[in-house]
Amino acid sequence: MCGFCGEARFDGRPAGTAATEAMNDALAARGPDDSGILARGRVTLGHRRLSIIDLSARGEQPMVDPDLGLSIAFNGCVYNYRELRAELEGLGYGFFSHADTEVILKAYHAWGTDCVRRFNGMFAFAIHERESGRLVLARDRFGIKPLYLAESDGALLFASSLPALVRSGRVDKSIDRVALQFYMTFHAVVPAPWTILKGVRKLPPATVRVIEPDGTSRDEVYWRISYTRSAEDEARPAEEWRDLLLEEFRQAVLRRMVADVPVGVLLSGGLDSSLIVGLLAEFGQSGLETFSIGFEAANGEKGDEFRYSDLIAQHYGTRHHKIFVPEREMLEALPGAIRAMSEPMVSYDNVAFYLLSKEVARHVKVVLSGQGADEVFGGYHWYPPLAGSNDPVAEYARRFFDRDHTRLGRELTPEWQIDRDEARAFVAESFGQPGADDPVDKALRLDSTVMLVDDPVKRVDNMTMAFGLEARVPFLDYELAEFAARIPSRHKLAQGGKGVLKEAARKVIPSAVIDREKGYFPVPSLKYIEGNRLDLVRDALSSQAARERGLFRQDYLERLYANPRDAITPLRGSELWQVGLLELWLQEQGI
């Protein structure tokens, strides 16, 4: 159930269907199984369906419950929908389908906006109340499912992707200068509510927005993760945390097996995805489909981790699919991968997930992925230096930011510069909020609720949905995350990071994939921009559209062209790819 859109008018005029039809067409890849549009006076809803739960016509959307006077368009999955359905039936509600969509409708009628507090899952939805005319928008706790918004001519447009909103033809497509600074500084992370386009915003995670017929609205933030701990938690031995964690994660994986279609696993060969496979084997699942991808080496860097994914696949006897992508095929796929991005995302592994998803979608409709483990359990290299830091904001910026504000001023043209260091101020505000006193906890909270949302999670959603594939992320089960927040950071930083998770994993999977050096989805040829990749990026940045935009100083670009190998960010990214990807994305969107 993977893409929706709509329009709500606030000027007394009925909402036409033209914009909704255009947006719905743009979302076709997210839901190839069915589509529908509902027009109700001043509100229209559109939906593209990927049939995962209740494959019958009774699960089609937009879904209308005429008795309750409610209509819904929904993207995602509520994993505990069966338990909620039983509870609602006990309250006297009847059901005409077996879909989790209908459970959301009944839950909203029973409990109002508080219903979201009861959902364990990934979701974004729009509910329209027939009698009051009220529109309610909501997004899950970790923002796994997207929701973009645009105000236009007395109306609100909304959609599951930014390109769908652009397709409406009614969006201000000028560049947002604050978002540009975030993109260039915060490693391409542009946090909600901003997007790179001035006319498009996104609903923040863990938020319900209630919009009245006159356009006034109020937001309810229904969840904030807390890193405060009891004395008992502080004193609990590592072995006890290990055992409790393994049981919590078992439950998180089990919840995500809810489907009326087969479920596979994206198996990188790292700890996180390997543990998922190991637990599924423990549950007795046989014939599990697993998938890995690799690329050509470049500049002495290996482009695959098949050694480790093979080890796990052989150990558990999975039906393993290895996809090796020559450089020529990777370059041919780049335009499609860039076009699939709801926002420009600089990580090299976008194209890896894009090509992997293309293959996976031929075999299954649902896959489990290991995203979130590093942000929840402390797996990144910038966490240890924060331990005991007297200036955690400065330390975090030094380790994570691609450049500081002064240097950015030498790279952007004067027109696009702003005086305030927005990215640094954003981190300082986040670190200053109550509920996380330890510097490592401050970074974990920021990374899991902001960075993760607008980089790894968005990347996986965008690339899988480009082929009608639903990705589920058990490490972002909110109950698991709340449990993990209680674990003192010293247990997470142990063993070079994710220590407590590694110890839990030792009870399930071979140690060879636990004690290996940490790997990333490697695409070396996009880190070292040369040859035809250099031509591609230079052509984009030299185009008439790029010259008219004038984002970057020419002397900065010339330095990058002359020596792209040495222009590598602290997080091992290519500066030339970062600026080139932004321009390539804008051009793919027709901007």
Which positions are catalytic? Answer: 2
Is residue 37 within 8 Å of 25, Cβ to Cβ? no
Pick from 369, 371, 353: nearest CA to 465: 353
Is residue 124 within 8 Å of 145, Cβ to Cβ? yes
Question: What is the separation, in whole angstroms, between the first and last Cα of the chain?
Answer: 29
Is residue 353 within 8 Å of 413, Cβ to Cβ? no
- Tokens 């609205």 sit at which residue? 217
Q: Which residues of 145-164 are buried (b: 16+ CB within 10 A; e: fewer)?
A: bbbbbbbbeebbbbbbbbbb
Amino acid identity, position 429: E
Q: How many whole angstroms separate alpha carbon 431 and alpha carbon 442?
A: 5
Amino acid identity, position 541: L
Contacts of 413 (CB under 8 A, 6+ apart): 550, 551, 552, 553
Query: Is residue 531 classed as helix, strand or coil in its secondary structure?
Result: coil
Is residue 282 within 8 Å of 322, Cβ to Cβ? no
Q: Where are the beta strands (DSSP E) in 296-393?
A: 319-325, 366-368
* Greatest alpha-carbon span in the chain: 71
The values of phi and psi at residue 67, to 5°, are -65, -35
